[in-house]
Chains A and B, each alone.
Chain A
């Protein structure tokens, strides 16, 4: 009987400790304001088009809006943004090379014309692939509105400048050399700054 009683007391103490802990956390959870939203209030239009509540991915049932699916989407997002980062460095290297080759061309060294064209095409492919990875990645879990300028805001503002500049550079490649050159330098300057200011 005494053994049974000791065992019973031990069991009661253990279960009471565990249940008291759980009771405390349960009551805390009931008081808490818990945000359980799966999508952020704000997202880029390209992301909304694909991944929004009524986006193509949802309509075509490729990715339904569930917790499990959002977990996988966030993993995909992380991978896409990692590749976006690496491609960004490669693009910057391409732009630097173009700057050198381009200045040689303007100085009359036309032997480098084909190289300029090739490096230009490769840099453009790399640039627009990187941009696509960012624009079409699944949206983050939250996208808070913050006051003032910070690294991510600067990165986004600069992105709109270098994106327009890259489109102009490509569009005017064989039409207006002067503006092509200005646009290329603008693209390079804003792109390099966007990389420098960005912090994870």
Chain B
């Protein structure tokens, strides 16, 4: 029995940690992510207003424990059907339909949140650190920020127009609105 004590203690510890977590859900109607791309001849922007995500926070101290965000490549809209169709071909949307971000490492600074996590895009995973502004409300949290992605880091071959390739940079802007999941 004495040999089992540490194991029982560990399992109880894990259960108690999990019990202290609250789930927060991304409010799809208020959240969005936009990307902007550049080419020598023009610039463009597309947005995705169908973000799905969950965050697990410590229920007493509002400390982030986990964050998972899921978006679909097909849900990006640049208001140009030709460009969107071309993007899906370049991003091989049938093979890699999802864009995911997952983090378990957070550091709350003065008025921002440093998030270290794994970005999965075009089937490739890359570690990424994001600095996000954070506003805590009673039952809502707003995360805002920008980040840069290098498409070639994710094995994406850059599209070309007039034989000139687009700039190897995607500027991402996001606004993520989390609401506390009701206990019922």
Interface residues of A (CB under 8 A from B): 1, 5, 8-9, 12, 16-17, 20-21, 24-25, 27-29, 31-35, 38, 40, 67, 70-71, 74-75, 77-78, 85-86, 140-148, 150-152, 155, 198-200
Bitwise, B83-103 to A at CB < 8 A (1) or not (0) is 111101100111101001010
Chain B residues with Cβ under 8 A from A143's Cβ?
81, 85
Interface residues of B (CB under 8 A from A): 3, 6-7, 10, 14, 39, 41-42, 44, 50, 52-54, 66, 68, 70, 72, 74-75, 77, 79-86, 88-89, 92-95, 97, 100, 102, 104, 159-163, 166
A140 and B94 CA atoms in complex are apart in Å by 12
Establish whether residues A141 and B52, one from each chain, have CB atoms under 8 Å apart when the complex forms: no
A49 and B52 CA atoms in complex are apart in Å by 38
Chain B interface, DSSP helix/strand/loop, else mixed: mixed
CB of B50, distance to nearest CB on chain A (Å): 7
Chain A interface, DSSP helix/strand/loop, else mixed: helix
Known A-B contacts A28-B70, A144-B81; A78 and B89 likewise in contact (beta carbons under 8 Å):
yes
Chain A residues with Cβ under 8 A from B53's Cβ?
28
Chain B residues with Cβ under 8 A from A32's Cβ?
50, 52, 70, 72
A67 and B39 CA atoms in complex are apart in Å by 31
Q: Which of B44, B52, B53 has the most CB of A within 10 A?
A: B52
Beyond A40-B85, A141-B94, A199-B161, 17 additional pairs, beta carbon < 8 A = A28-B52, A28-B70, A29-B70, A32-B50, A67-B94, A74-B94, A140-B86, A141-B74, A141-B93, A143-B85, A144-B77, A144-B81, A144-B84, A145-B81, A147-B79, A148-B79, A199-B42
6 nearest A-B residue pairs (beta carbon): A152-B82, A140-B85, A24-B68, A200-B161, A28-B52, A28-B70
A142 and B83 CA atoms in complex are apart in Å by 10
Chain A residues with Cβ under 8 A from B89's Cβ?
74-75, 77-78, 140-141
Establish whether residues B74 and A199, one from each chain, have CB atoms under 8 Å apart when the complex forms: no
A199 and B82 CA atoms in complex are apart in Å by 9
> Whose C-beta in chain B lies nearest to the C-beta of A36?
B97
A40 and B44 CA atoms in complex are apart in Å by 23
A187 and B77 CA atoms in complex are apart in Å by 32
Q: Which of A16, A28, A35 has the most CB of B within 10 A?
A: A28
